[in-house]
Amino acid sequence: MAIQTKAYALYKQYIPFIILLSTFVALPALAEKTNYAELKRGDVINVNLDQLLPTQAVISLDEEYYNLGRYAEDLKTMYNDLCRVNGAKGIKKWDKDSNPTNISTYSCQAKQGENIDALPSVIIGPEDGELFLIDHHNILSTFWDMPNGGTSVPITLKVEYNLLGSGDDFWPELLNDHEVWLYNNKGKKIKPSALPQYIGSKQLKHDKYFSLAYFLNGIAYDMPDENKVPYVKLNWSRVLREKMDIGDYNLNNLDEYATALTSAATIITDLKSDTVIGRSSKTAKEMGQKSSVDTKALENLLTNEKSTWHYAMAYRLAKKEKATPKNIEDENNNKEDDASNKKESKKKESKKKDKPNSINETDKVKAE
């Protein structure tokens, strides 16, 4: 393997510690009881993760792996993320007895919800008690999936809209405002009824094109104002899905994943600036398209052992190695080799068609 990462070895070193943490049980902080009918835009509420309904069916699992890889290396980063996402700036104090499900066991630099702009957003309705999450699906799924997290992790939210009692107008209104993403991880359109009932990677499926778009932020495009353009990365992922076949690459191979990222970056920057991106109704330029690939940023992503991609791949490969029995792993590797050779087979087939067919014609005459 040409591209190596120290984070991979480091994560393996921390696996026993992570397993130990997963057995630690603390009393969960109860979500506050709320009269949803009284809530209005801008109000702040506290709930547990299992009260949230997703408005998309996919996540970037590699973004989650990046986070989990950092947490495996240094638990302080996990508590720092918890404080940041809860609008409390960053971690102030924590210790070995701290637990994400009990906010009294650690302290942040500010009060929960103080930085309201950092909070995840929800839309209320159409039934009482329904909270539809419209952003932050990846990081909150990380909190759900991490060994010492889960359904009872408390989270502070801001209310975007209160559509309680809207009935049949609820989903049309969300669609009109681009507050729901009705595509699955195969790129197929789905109905609202097909949306998962919870966040987390067991419900939200991995969209590989979403991961490409996640890594290429700052390399092929710069993030525009997400308040004006919802689902930026998912809209870029739609373009990549149309322009390349991720099945041509074995994403468990670092070199092939690096090649996929390079190809995807070029696809984005080569688009005409007035191309409408995904279902955003925004042009490539409005979606932050760069005039050319930032090669220095791309090189840093692929070579820096502290980059998002290196952490994600270290976690992915270590998890795969630990979870897969040797005989099954060998079988899976053979399947992945088939994907790696897909392009080469296509090339050979194409050359074969272009060659003179004299020998084949002679054999045909003999057979007759």
**What's the rounded Cα separation, in Å, for the pair 191 and 183?**
8
User: Does position 240 have pLDDT exceeding 70, yes or no?
Assistant: yes
What pTM was estimated for this model as a whole?
0.81
What pLDDT does 322 receive? Answer: 82
> Exposed (0-12), middle (13-18) or buried (19+): which is 145, by Cβ within 10 Å?
buried
Range 7-206 classified under CATH 3.90.1530.10: yes
Residue 141: partners with Cβ closer than 8 Å, 6 or more residues away: 59, 64, 199, 200, 201, 204
**Which has the higher per-residue pLDDT, 1 or 295?**
295
Tokens of 80: 């720092």
DSSP 216: T
Give the model confidence (pLDDT) of 152-163 as tens digits.
999 999 999 999
**What's the rounded Cα separation, in Å, for the pair 20 and 191?**
40
Residue 303: partners with Cβ closer than 8 Å, 6 or more residues away: 3
Tokens of 158: 């801001």
The domains of the chain are located at 7-206, 207-324
- The Cα angle at residue 7 between residues 311 and 22, in degrees rounded to 5: 80
What pLDDT does 9 receive? Answer: 55
pLDDT band at 321 (very low <50, low <70, confident <90, very high): confident
Tokens of 190: 């789905």
Give the model confidence (pLDDT) of 44-94 as tens digits.
999 999 999 999 999 999 999 999 999 999 999 999 999 999 999 999 999
Q: Convert 302-324 into a string of H (helix), E (strand) and C (coil).
A: HHCCCCHHHHHHHHHHHHHHHHC
Distances (CA, A) of 197 to 56, 130, 162, 187, 255: 10, 11, 20, 20, 36
Q: Are 48 and 151 in contact (CB under 8 A)?
A: yes
Q: Span 309-317, mean pLDDT?
A: 96
Buried (b) or exposed (e) across 331-360, using 16+ Cβ within 10 A?
eeeeebeebbeeeeeeeeeeeeeeeeeeee
DSSP 70: H
* Phi-psi region at 113: left, alpha or beta (left = phi > 0; alpha = psi -120 to 50): left
Q: To the nearest whole percent, how much of the chain has pLDDT over 90?
A: 73
pLDDT band at 323 (very low <50, low <70, confident <90, very high): confident
Residue 19: partners with Cβ closer than 8 Å, 6 or more residues away: 147
Q: Are 79 and 95 in contact (CB under 8 A)?
A: no
User: Does position 98 have pLDDT exceeding 90, yes or no?
Assistant: yes
Q: How many CA atoms lie within 13 A of 125 on its CB side?
A: 23
CA dihedral 226, 230, 233, 235 (to 10 degrees): -140
Give the start-end residues of each E strand in the chain.
Answer: 44-48, 52-54, 58-59, 91-93, 107-108, 121-124, 131-133, 154-162, 205-206
Mean pLDDT of the chain: 85
pLDDT band at 367 (very low <50, low <70, confident <90, very high): very low
